[in-house]
């Protein structure tokens, strides 16, 4: 299967490319490298340096590549930026997405996966949310994900032969995640703690998150591409259903960072966390229930949070101390 991965040079996209290659498929990558990096990709993968907002260039890629399927991960990812710049957020996450959908439909693509977000889709919720829970996004980013899902469902109804899957990720983490800018909290914390620098917790540390390891997310994409669907369109939650507070996260990462430093004879103690105000658009608690994809496609997370955090810290340590 020829699979076009938009945002394929990014954190999640690069792991999806790896999973596709291992399964014997042919991945093709579209990325504008605003956040992606060629280091995330094997050198032999065909890459197109194209912004999804450029309709003409994107359409040319689809015509030239003739993909069988699409895994859409090119996006504006920052919740706080979506609050500051909602028009830019919509330009990328809605208009850019429509360019992908239209180009795919014209080339008779068979299946499209859309990277959605359980955290921003369901809003604040302390019990694992199922896919049937009414959406309650609390940021422009969340609204663009909700809108993106509706557009995908619409296109599957308008184009015979096209099936669509929205994957509502919880908080994805793991190796290759950026630790600069408005990056994932685990990447930021691991990088700083390994250098014996204090981390800043936004809020009082009680915020609850459902962390899912990136290779589990890549495997979910593979199953959604290869699996038999009983619906033209389907949404699936991708998470563990297990909550970790940000304070617990900081403590666990501090322990693993201390171990990595001790292995290198570094004895300077890691300082305690500092606390700052909550970020705009952040939700306090979010957990998601992944029973549907387990029952229908056989996906379950294989990497528990403790193991994943240890592996991630080790990956960052190899680069911090290189």
31 in Cβ contact with 73 (< 8 Å): no
The three-state secondary structure class of 47 is strand
Quote the CA–CA distance of 209 and 247 in Å, as a whole number. Answer: 11
Quote the CA–CA distance of 254 and 246 in Å, as a whole number. Answer: 12
79 in Cβ contact with 279 (< 8 Å): yes
Among 121, 122, 141, 169, the active-site one is: 141
Tokens describing residue 147: 């809108």
Tokens describing residue 83: 């609050």
| Residue whose token pair is 């850019």 | 96
308 in Cβ contact with 211 (< 8 Å): yes
Quick count: other Cβ atoms within 10 Å of Cβ 10?
A: 29
> Buried b vs exposed e over 233-268: b needs ≥16 C-beta within 10 Å?
bbbbbbbbbbbbbbbebbebbbebbbebbeeeeeee
Q: Please say if 141 is a catalytic residue.
A: yes
Quote the CA–CA distance of 129 and 115 in Å, as a whole number. Answer: 17
Beta strands in 32-148 (DSSP E): 46-49, 69-72, 111-117
Cα 133 to Cα 10, 136, 212, 256: the distances in Å are: 30, 9, 20, 36
Quote the CA–CA distance of 7 and 29 in Å, as a whole number. Answer: 7
Active site residues: 141
């Amino acid at each position: 299967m020829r699979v076009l991965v938009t945002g394929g040079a990014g954190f999640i996209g690069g792991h999806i490319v790896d999973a596709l290659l291992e399964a014997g498929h042919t991945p093709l990558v579209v990325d504008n490298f605003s956040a992606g990096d060629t280091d995330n990709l094997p050198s032999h993968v065909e890459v197109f340096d194209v912004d999804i907002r450029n309709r003409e260039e994107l359409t040319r890629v689809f015509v030239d590549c003739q993909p069988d399927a699409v895994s859409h991960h090119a996006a504006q990812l920052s919740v706080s930026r979506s609050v500051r710049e909602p028009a830019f957020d919509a330009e990328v996450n809605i208009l850019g997405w429509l360019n992908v959908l239209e180009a795919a439909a014209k080339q008779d693509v068979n299946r499209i996966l859309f990277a959605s977000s359980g955290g921003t889709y369901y809003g604040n919720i302390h019990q694992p949310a199922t896919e049937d829970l009414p959406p309650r996004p609390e940021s422009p980013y969340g609204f663009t994900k909700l809108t993106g899902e509706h557009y995908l469902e619409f296109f599957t109804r308008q184009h015979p032969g096209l099936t669509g899957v929205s994957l509502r990720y919880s908080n994805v983490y793991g190796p290759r995640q950026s630790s600069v800018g408005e990056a994932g909290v685990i990447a930021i914390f691991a990088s700083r703690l390994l250098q014996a620098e204090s981390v800043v917790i936004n809020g009082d540390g009680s915020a609850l998150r459902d962390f899912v390891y990136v290779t589990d997310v890549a495997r979910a994409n593979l199953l959604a591409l290869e699996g038999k669907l009983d619906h033209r369109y389907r949404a699936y939650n991708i998470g563990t259903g297990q909550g970790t507070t940000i304070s617990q996260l900081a403590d666990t990462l501090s322990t693993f960072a201390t171990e990595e430093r001790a292995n290198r004879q570094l004895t300077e103690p890691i300082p305690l966390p500092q606390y700052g105000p909550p970020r705009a658009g952040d939700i306090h608690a979010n957990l998601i229930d992944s029973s549907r994809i387990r029952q229908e496609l056989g996906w379950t997370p294989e990497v528990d949070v403790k193991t994943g955090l240890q592996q991630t810290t080790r990956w960052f340590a190899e680069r911090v101390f290189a």
